Amino acid sequence: MQVYKLQDFHRGWFIGNFTPSLFQTKDFEVGVMHYVKGEICKLHYHKIATEYNVLIYGRIVVDGTELVAGDAYIVRPNEVSDLSFLEDSCIAVVKVPSIPDDKWEIP
């Protein structure tokens, strides 16, 4: 058995087409993201990838909709992701396919 720390991976991404990775694949990415209350993510979108998200704990607003622990949501290609955090939160993310450069920030 090998043991790793989530903090050793880039921003919580631990599977995908990047290094370091527990399992390197072009097919998908998996990450566990932690955010603090009041944090606001930069507006962004993906041209190719779809993100499948589950809010593990916390309370967030995604595109004007408030979500709570246990809620799941999908962000499809070219949909702008607008996130803010009402509480400390954790999101599990699966992104298909794994294209690390497929993130486009909106100024």
Identify the pLDDT of residue 107.
87
Domains in the chain: boundaries: 6-100
Cα–Cα distances in Å, from 24 out to 14, 68, 100?
9, 31, 12
| 102 pLDDT higher than 90 | yes
> Residue 71's pLDDT band (boundaries 50, 70, 90)?
very high
Q: What is the pLDDT of residues 23-67, one digit of tens each?
A: 999 999 999 999 999 998 999 999 999 999 999 999 999 999 999
Q: State the Cα–Cα distance between residues 70 and 25, nearest whole angstrom.
A: 27
- Burial of 3 (C-beta count, 10 Å sphere; 0-12/13-18/19+): exposed
What is the topology classification, in CATH, of domain 6-100?
Jelly Rolls (2.60.120)
pTM (predicted TM-score): 0.93
